Amino acid sequence: MSTLVIVGSQWGDEGKGKITDYMAQEADVVVRSQGGNNAGHTINFDGKKFALRSIPSGIFHSNIKNVMANGMVIDPKQMLEELRSLEERGILNYQLYISGRAHVVMPYHQRLDGAYENLKKENKIGTTKRGIGPCYADKANRIGIRIADLIDPESFSIALKNALEIKNKELKMLGEKEYTFDEIYEEYVEYGKKLKPFVCDTSLLLEEEIEKGAKVLFEGAQGVMLCLDHGTYPYVTSSSPTGASVPLNAGIAPQNIESVLGICKAYTTRVGEGPFPTEIHDELADYIRERGHEYGTVTKRPRRVGYLDCVALNYARRVSGINYLALMLFDVLSGLDKIKICYAYELDGKEIYTVPANLKEYYRCKPLYVEMDGWKEDITKVQSYDELPQAAKAYMKKIEELTKTEIAIFSVGPDRHQTIRLKDIF
Ligand code: IMP
């Protein structure tokens, strides 16, 4: 296998960073294809901890080509800070390629993100306020600014004037401070100059690499249930974090995707608002939250915690083309007498096995559970499937059965050696 897509198969924060980092060791190319600095994960490299937001995870290895593809929205100010902080900490020999077709997150996008959230009051999405939604909206509205414009002062000047003409009216209407051209132009031309050496046609680069037989890893950000099309709209992000979106967002042929690895926790979490049928509202949620360190990487918000929802997971498999699962944070569940897995929802007296499109219906869905035995043993030192307690094995088998998907990896702790591979998929 030479191409692998990693997707979050729940509502984000499934531990994609760890698996991406683990798989990146074997990759020749690592690609981020959508989203921006709303994502965030921590990587341990050479005994040091690094937080990455928009830069691909292969950046620590000088032999890996790192691609920020056309489907991304890039905040140049934040991205350059991220790069500078990596350089300051000794990451100097890296290969980075940025698509000229990626869109630029501008300061007015962030201001608008906050303004829309405030306006929505109790209906707010709970966004990361990084300007992601307004940037993708401008892309769809064809008033966005692309990296190719940013690195060309003349094109940027025209694009910025055109955008401000509209964005300032929007800001004014929302009672927000407007921007002058001069406030932005010079500063962003400087960012453009710094980014220019990295900009190229990343679609072309990927085609050449795939033809050569290079191992290409498409790293995931967010999760399938946050997908603009298939997620719990409107409580979603503004792009598609599915396997299916990768060819579009990276400019490659769909037939070049060989495997899609869905990363899922042994339970479920969610940040921000929106339906969450298996959410736990008693002290068990605190037990899992504390053991799993379930606080947002970007916003530090405590995450909502629930039982594993195999209806949502199976749905994610279907819409995203997941053919293997990586089961993360398995060790967090040690110590419980009983543990539940949701196998169906009950909606108005009927048993259903999929996620309803209507949000009101989704809020009415009651989870139906199979109750499994828990296990008391600490499994953080387990190195193989055989070493797992019987109840933990049964838990894995039940997930495979309910999602019709093989578990290729399970993880019992934050370190690389706590990652147990059951199948070679890359
Ligand atoms: P936005 O992407 O900032 O517009 O936020 C929209 C929703 O997606 C909010 O509920 C965020 O908490 C969620 N979200 C965005 N990025 C991530 C992520 O990387 N992990 C988990 N949730 C995310």
CATH of the domain at 243: 3.40.440.10
Same domain, 158 and 272: no
Q: How high is the pLDDT of residue 299?
A: 76
Same domain, 29 and 17: yes
Q: How far is CA 68 from CA 5, 256, 411, in A?
A: 15, 18, 27
26-35, 50-59, 377-386: lowest mean pLDDT where? 50-59
**% the chain with pLDDT above 70:** 100
Same domain, 370 and 347: yes
Same domain, 125 and 45: no
CATH of the domain at 157: 1.10.300.10
Query: Which residues are CB-neighbours of 258 under 8 A, at least 6 positions away?
Result: 1, 2, 3, 4
Q: What is the C-alpha to C-alpha distance for residues 332 and 328, in angstroms, rounded to an integer?
A: 9
Last residue of a domain, one of 256, 277, 298: 256
Q: How many CA atoms lie within 13 A of 254 on its CB side?
A: 7
Q: How high is the pLDDT of residue 136?
A: 98
Segment 375-396 mean pLDDT: 98
CATH of the domain at 353: 3.90.170.10
Q: What is the C-alpha to C-alpha distance for residues 389 and 378, in angstroms, rounded to an integer?
A: 9
Query: Which residues are CB-neighbours of 299 under 8 A, at least 6 positions away?
Result: 128, 271
Q: What is the C-alpha to C-alpha distance for residues 27 and 319, in angstroms, rounded to an integer?
A: 26
Same domain, 327 and 400: yes
Residue to mutate (ligand 1; options 33, 123, 226; most atoms within 8 A of CB): 226
Same domain, 278 and 399: yes
Could you tell me if residue 72 is inside a domain?
yes
Could you tell me if residue 93 is inside a domain?
yes
Q: How high is the pLDDT of residue 43?
A: 82
Q: Is 41 a catalytic residue?
A: yes
Number of helical (H) and strand (E) elements in the chain, helices listed first:
13, 20
Q: What H or E segment, with its residue span, contains residue 18? A: helix 16-24
Segment 222-242 mean pLDDT: 95
Query: Which residues are CB-neighbours of 329 under 8 A, at least 6 positions away?
Result: 15, 265, 266, 267, 292, 411
Give per-residue pLDDT as tens, 37-55: 999 887 878 888 888 999 9
Same domain, 31 and 68: yes
Q: What is the C-alpha to C-alpha distance for residues 331 and 412, in angstroms, rounded to an integer?
A: 5
Last residue of a domain, one of 195, 212, 233: 195
The partner residues of 308 in beta bridges, in order of sequence, read 341
Could you tell me if residue 293 is inside a domain?
yes
At 263, phi and psi to the nearest 5?
Answer: -90, 125
Could you tell me if residue 205 is inside a domain?
yes
Identify the residues whose C-beta falls under 6 Å from ligand 1: 12-13, 38-39, 125-128, 130, 132-133, 221-222, 226, 235, 237-238, 271-272
What pLDDT band is residue 121 in, cutting at 50, 70 and 90?
confident
378 token code pair: 């600490």
| Angle, CA 332 vertex, CA 31 and CA 386 arms, to 5° | 85
Taking the centre of ligand 1 as the mean of its atom positions, its distance from the CA of residue 355, in whole angstroms, is 19
Q: How high is the pLDDT of residue 296?
A: 83
Q: What is the C-alpha to C-alpha distance for residues 223 and 391, in angstroms, rounded to an integer?
A: 28
Cα 267 → chain centroid: 17
Segment 199-212 mean pLDDT: 97
Contact in structure between 226 and 315 (CB atoms under 8 Å): no
Same domain, 12 and 110: no
Taking the centre of ligand 1 as the mean of its atom positions, its distance from the CA of residue 35, in whole angstroms, is 9
Same domain, 23 and 137: no
Residue to mutate (ligand 1; options 9, 37, 38, 57; most atoms within 8 A of CB): 38
**% the chain with pLDDT above 90:** 90
Query: Which residues are CB-neighbours of 399 under 8 A, at least 6 positions away?
Result: 308, 310, 313, 325, 327, 341, 407
**Residue 300's closest CA among 88, 114, 129?**
129
Last residue of a domain, one of 224, 256, 288: 256
What pLDDT band is residue 324 in, cutting at 50, 70 and 90?
very high
Taking the centre of ligand 1 as the mean of its atom positions, its distance from the CA of residue 126, in whole angstroms, is 8
How many other C-beta atoms can be found within 10 angstroms of the C-beta atom of residue 83? Answer: 19
Could you tell me if residue 143 is inside a domain?
yes
Q: What is the C-alpha to C-alpha distance for residues 376 and 389, in angstroms, rounded to an integer?
A: 9
Give per-residue pLDDT as tens, 269-304: 998 888 999 999 999 999 999 999 999 877 788 999
CA-based max dimension of the chain: 66
Q: What is the C-alpha to C-alpha distance for residues 416 and 402, in angstroms, rounded to an integer?
A: 28
Could you tell me if residue 42 is inside a domain?
yes
Measured by CA distance, the residue closest to atom 9 of ligand 1 is 127
Instruction: Please tell me which residue in 28, 41, 75, 109 is annotated as part of the active site.
Output: 41
Q: Which atom of ligand 1 is nearest to the CA of 272?
A: 10
Instruction: Give the residue numbers spanning the domain of 110.
Output: 103-195
Could you tell me if residue 426 is inside a domain?
no
Q: Say yes or no to pLDDT of 1 above 70.
A: no
43-47, 97-101, 142-146: lowest mean pLDDT where? 43-47
Q: How high is the pLDDT of residue 282?
A: 95
Taking the centre of ligand 1 as the mean of its atom positions, its distance from the CA of residue 79, in whole angstroms, is 18
User: Mean pLDDT in the chain?
Assistant: 95
| Number of domains forming the structure of the chain | 3
Same domain, 43 and 62: yes
Taking the centre of ligand 1 as the mean of its atom positions, its distance from the CA of residue 299, in whole angstroms, is 10
Same domain, 25 and 45: yes
Q: How high is the pLDDT of residue 217?
A: 98
**Residue 2's closest CA among 164, 211, 195, 151?**
211
What pLDDT band is residue 416 in, cutting at 50, 70 and 90?
confident
Q: Say yes or no to pLDDT of 243 above 80.
A: yes
Q: How high is the pLDDT of residue 49?
A: 84
Same domain, 181 and 309: no
